[in-house]
């Protein structure tokens, strides 16, 4: 992307009174966290993530699904924010009004210094009772439990039934309040920056679709393209490469 286009993009973001940043798995790819499109590894290579990330899969094989999340938690725990996360946090510091909405279940935006992150699909580091026996969500601190790592999922300390990761699985509804805030922001913002998402998963994908339908500038940072790249302003670069350049130009405006 030539410097003139980078500067124009930075100016558009600076001139927009309200910016929504919408991220997906690709924003964490350069931190070593595999995206959903990546082939699954090891035991799970023969499964599709969409098949494992469901309550049906958990009921059918709770140990397989729990152990898959423990594996992914390990990847996230070893990951560090990349230059793309850091650039987004910088935008939130320099711009008066940015709402960051993520589909990701890691906390790399928070680690990069983002002051507020709206998580549409939950937080992989959190554990809750599968039945929310004490109210929704019944969060449980795994570090306070003693359980046999081979005998998983561990039992809920309140009701003795399964624990599960505090993420939104396929075929589960998202939090109404979180979704309403994200859609309201999409209806009101003046520019949108989507980073590292294929735009396949709903209802999250409606966020950039609302921006595009309103005719506001929507920048799509994605080296391989998304379902919306043709309608958006597509930047075919890795987030960690292009976003620091945009923020360098932004800081000089
Ligand atoms: C629901 C948590 C109803 C779990 C996740 C409408 C149309 C079609 C289907 C549906 C629809 N409405 C509902 C559905 C069904 C389903 C769905 O969307 N199916 C699709 C896939 C066909 N949706 C649901 O089930 C949702 N629930 O609708 O409930 C309901 C109502 C009432 C009562 C009961 C039920 C729930 C969806 C949430 C699922 N949970 N995550 C977990 O993580 O384990 S979704 C999960 O997959 C991720 O969180 C993420 O959101 C999604 C993957 O999408 P992306 O983030 O975009 O990642 P992806 O890998 O696809 O793409 C990465 C991109 O990055 C790529 O394009 C790549 O090119 C790019 N990239 C790579 N490297 C870089 C990069 N970009 C920049 N820089 C780089 N370096």
Mutate to test the pocket of ligand 1, among 32, 33, 36, 56 (most ligand atoms within 8 A of CB): 36
Which token pair is 152? 């998983």
Catalytically annotated residue among 85, 95, 121, 158: 121
Contact of 197 with 226, CB cutoff 8 Å: yes
Between vectors from CA 169 to CA 146 and to CA 19, what angle results, nearest 5°?
A: 110
Cβ of 168 below 6 Å from ligand 1: yes
Ordered strands of the 163-167 beta sheet? 139-140, 122-129, 163-167
Cβ of 102 below 6 Å from ligand 1: no
Cβ of 48 below 6 Å from ligand 1: no
pTM of the model: 0.96
User: Which residues contact residue 35 at a Cβ distance below 8 angstroms, ignoring those fewer than 6 apart?
Assistant: 24, 25, 26, 28, 29, 196
Distance from C-alpha of 218 to C-alpha of 208, rounded to nearest angstrom: 7
CA nearest neighbour of 86 among 110, 115, 108, 112: 112
Q: Is 121 a known active-site residue? A: yes
pLDDT in tens, 138-197: 999 999 999 888 889 999 999 999 999 999 999 999 999 999 999 999 999 999 999 999
CA nearest neighbour of 84 among 106, 63, 69, 62: 106
pLDDT score at 43: 67
Largest CA-CA distance found in the chain, in angstroms, rounded: 60
Cis check: omega of the bond before 233, within 30 degrees of 0: no
Contact of 89 with 112, CB cutoff 8 Å: yes
Give me the mean pLDDT over the 5-26 stretch: 97
Give distance in angstroms: CA of 204 to centre of ligand 1.
7
Q: Which residue has the tokens 């070593």?
A: 32
pLDDT in tens, 86-96: 999 999 999 99
pLDDT score at 116: 97
Cβ of 29 below 6 Å from ligand 1: yes
């Amino acid at each position: 992307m030539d410097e003139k286009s980078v500067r124009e993009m930075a100016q558009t973001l600076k001139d927009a009174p309200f910016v929504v940043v919408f991220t997906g798995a690709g924003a964490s790819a350069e931190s070593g966290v595999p995206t959903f499109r990546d082939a699954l590894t090891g035991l799970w290579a023969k499964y599709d993530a969409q098949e494992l990330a469901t309550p049906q899969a958990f009921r059918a094989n709770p140990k397989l699904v729990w152990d898959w999340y423990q594996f992914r938690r390990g990847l996230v725990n070893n990951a560090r924010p990349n230059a793309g996360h850091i650039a987004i946090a910088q935008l939130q510091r320099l711009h008066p009004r940015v709402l960051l909405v993520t589909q990701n279940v890691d906390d790399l935006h928070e680690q990069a210094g983002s002051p507020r992150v709206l998580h549409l699909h939950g937080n992989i580091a959190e554990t809750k009772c599968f039945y929310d026996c004490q109210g929704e969500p019944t969060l449980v601190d795994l570090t306070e439990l003693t359980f046999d790592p081979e005998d998983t999922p561990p039992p809920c300390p309140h009701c003795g039934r399964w624990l599960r990761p505090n993420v939104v699985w396929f075929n589960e509804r998202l939090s109404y309040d979180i979704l309403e805030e994200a859609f309201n922001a999409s209806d009101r913002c003046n520019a949108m920056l989507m980073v590292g998402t294929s735009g396949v998963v709903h209802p999250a994908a409606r966020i950039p679709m609302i921006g595009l339908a309103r005719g506001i500038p929507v920048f799509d940072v994605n080296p391989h393209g998304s379902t919306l790249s043709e309608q958006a302003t597509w930047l075919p670069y890795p987030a960690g490469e292009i976003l620091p350049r945009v923020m360098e130009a932004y800081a000089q405006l």
